């Protein structure tokens, strides 16, 4: 079993923190901000992202604002444990694209003293909870929900409205495919 290989002596308590919200709300920007603070404190960091996310850079995690941090691309949640080299912080971007095993992976890491920072969309373009995010939100110690600004009215936005005709749940995109909307503006367009 995974936990048997890592004695608890000398370890501090781990935890899971989630940064969630819509597209263009600053999730990745906040993830990178937290990592840069930890990096300044000389803490060892492992940042991973799913292979499907190749929008701005093949390997690095890059925010819509252009902020970047070195990352490793993985196929599935199990690979995170395989590449983990006892870093104090494990960060995961675009968690909604991972398999349900990501919840167990995060719990295992937190149980042995790792600070796990997860960023991801809480809802898909249809306003439905996205992938493993609801389960991750329920087991996390800390949750930060960030908001974009509605492009229609200027209120806080929590919906990622898809602007192209594609009904697949996963469509990796940016400003050409999505725009953030508040509940009122989303309901006017989507229903």
Domain ranges across the chain: 12-146
Mind giving me the DSSP string for 67-119? -EE--EEESSTHHHHHH--S-SEEEESSGGGS-THHHHHHHHHHHTT-EEEEE
pTM score, whole prediction = 0.85
| Per-residue pLDDT reduced to its tens digit, 54-94 | 555 567 777 666 677 889 999 999 999 999 999 999 999 99
CA angle 118, 114, 4 (to 5 degrees): 125
- Confidence at residue 126, expressed as pLDDT on a 0 to 100 scale: 86
List strand residue ranges (DSSP E) for the chain, in order.
Answer: 15-21, 45-50, 61-62, 68-69, 72-74, 89-92, 115-121, 142-146, 148-149, 156-157, 159-162, 178-181
State yes or no: is 94 an active-site residue: yes
If one looks up domain 12-146 in CATH, what number appears? 3.40.50.300
- List the catalytic residue out of 29, 94, 141, 177: 94
With the CA atoms of 179, 181, 185 and 191 taken in that order, what torsion angle do they form, in degrees rounded to the nearest 10? 70
| Per-residue pLDDT reduced to its tens digit, 114-172 | 999 999 999 988 889 999 999 999 999 999 999 999 999 999 999 988 866 655 544 55
Residue 4, judged by CB atoms within 10 A of its CB (0-12, 13-18, 19+), counts as exposed
**What are the residues whose beta carbons fall under 8 Å from the beta carbon of 9, sequence distance 6 or more?**
none
């Amino acid at each position: 079993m995974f936990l048997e290989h890592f004695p608890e002596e000398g370890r501090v308590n781990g935890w899971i923190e989630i940064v969630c919200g819509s597209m263009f709300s600053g999730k990745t920007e906040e993830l990178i901000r937290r990592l840069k603070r930890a990096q300044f404190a000389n803490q060892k960091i492992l940042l991973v992202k799913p292979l499907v996310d190749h929008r701005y850079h093949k390997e690095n995690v890059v925010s819509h604002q252009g902020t970047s941090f070195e990352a490793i691309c993985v196929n599935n949640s199990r690979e995170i444990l395989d590449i983990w080299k006892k870093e104090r912080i494990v960060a995961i971007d675009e968690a909604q694209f991972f398999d349900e095993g990501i919840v167990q992976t995060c719990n295992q890491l937190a149980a042995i003293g790792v600070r796990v920072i997860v960023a991801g969309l809480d809802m898909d373009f249809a306003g439905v909870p996205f992938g493993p995010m609801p389960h991750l939100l329920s087991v996390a110690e800390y949750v930060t929900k960030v908001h974009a600004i509605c492009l229609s009215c200027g209120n806080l936005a929590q919906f990622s409205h898809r602007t192209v005709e594609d009904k697949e749940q996963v469509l990796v995109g940016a400003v050409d495919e999505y725009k953030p909307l508040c509940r009122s503006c989303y309901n006017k367009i989507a229903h």
